[in-house]
Amino acid sequence: MRAKLVAKTFFLLTIFFGIVPTTPGDAQTSKGSALADEQQVKQFLSSLMSSDAAGKIKVVVRDAKYSPSTHELVIALSVTNAGVEAVRFGELVADGFRFLDPALFKLPVPYPEKFVVQSASLDNEVPIYPSGTRETTLKIGEFDRLLQSKRNARSRRGSSIRINGYLAFFSSTGRRYAVRIDKAVETPASETAETAQEQKLKRQFLDALDPVHAAPAIQAIVKDAAYDATAKTLTLEFQARNVGDEMVKFGELIVDERRFLNPRIYTAPVRNYPLQLVYTSAASIDSDNALTSGETREVKLVVSDFDSVMNARKDKMPAALDAFLEFWSPVGHRFVTRINAKFRATN
């Protein structure tokens, strides 16, 4: 019986936290894995920059559109093969993500799995032969994974997105030709505003945050809330106390309807909230170890892309930070606590 209980607990921890309870050795292993992933990404991007594509494959981006409702990027291209080998499209690489054409790539590929998406498709898969030029359309599905992980890709001044990366073409001999592209992407005006369904989902989510209905299991005392206008980050230092009977982990900070997520908890795109208000990989906490029952801990939380909040306030510096901190237990219980702290600017 005890063995079954342990196995069930292990399973739940794996599902909701993505990891089992950590020891110092486990934490070191996790950090080492993250560093290895970062190094692998850097090496791959370096190889793209040293590609011998210069002058051999020429690409003109005619048009690029992103649809928030379908999470799809559509790029109209003109591709000219000025080399001596026939080539075909293989992938789009942007912000460390590799959007692969599954017709060419078979998983797994030697790259961090969290940055690999098999969602690229060209309207014509026939190779482009030497001296040939082709007008073609490239579709990239699940493009919101990039947007949610790196919100700097989205302009704060409007609905546009900028795609900056590489298109990679391959010859039959396996040679890669990587071509740099940099293009502002249009978002259809009809999809810029929140839909009625998005507004409904947002209201439901925000109503659920009402502290009157939240179990008072987590207490938070804010020591400092500082905004760095240059780095566009909020640094929040607080004391967290778990007075409940379940271990918990920090999940997100909610400010002015914007959700700044901890990627260790939210490992997949958020579908039940307006995409333009979700900032994945934006909340970095100094310790991802679970806060056990009865434990009190000093916590430092750094939130990137916080300029989205400040810009919405028309650059007015608020006197106080009114927000919600959300924590999750391994069985999926959400614990929300409201904070209201003095707010200051560091520069």
Which own/partner pairs from 336-339 qualify as long-range (CB within 8 Å, at least 24 positions apart)? 336/208, 336/209, 336/211, 336/214, 337/211, 337/214, 337/216, 337/218, 337/219, 337/220, 338/211, 339/220, 339/222, 339/238
Which residues are within 8 A (CB) of 341 and not within 5 positions of it... i.e. 6 or more apart? 222, 224, 225, 238, 320, 321
191: amino acid identity, one letter: E
Return d(Cα 125, Cα 89) in angstroms, integer: 8
Backbone angles phi, psi at 5, to 5 degrees: -65, -40
Backbone angles phi, psi at 264, to 5 degrees: -75, -25
Q: Are strands 97-100 and 87-94 parallel, antiparallel or unpaired?
A: antiparallel
Return d(Cα 102, Cα 120) in angstroms, integer: 7
Return d(Cα 105, Cα 117) in angstroms, integer: 11
Asked whether 331 and 12 are in contact (CB, 8 A), the reply is: yes
The length of the chain in residues reads 347
Return d(Cα 21, Cα 30) in angstroms, integer: 12
Return d(Cα 99, Cα 260) in angstroms, integer: 25
Q: What is the pLDDT along the chain (347 residues), one digit of tens a residue?
A: 444 443 444 334 333 333 323 333 444 444 566 678 888 888 888 888 766 666 789 999 999 998 877 788 999 999 999 999 999 999 999 989 999 999 899 888 889 988 999 999 999 889 999 999 999 999 999 888 887 765 444 433 344 578 889 999 999 888 899 999 999 888 776 665 667 777 888 888 888 887 655 667 899 999 999 999 888 899 999 999 999 999 999 999 999 899 999 988 887 777 788 877 888 878 989 988 999 999 999 999 999 888 888 877 755 667 788 999 999 999 988 899 999 888 888 87
Asked whether 329 and 21 are in contact (CB, 8 A), the reply is: no
Bridge partners, residue 89, by sequence: 169
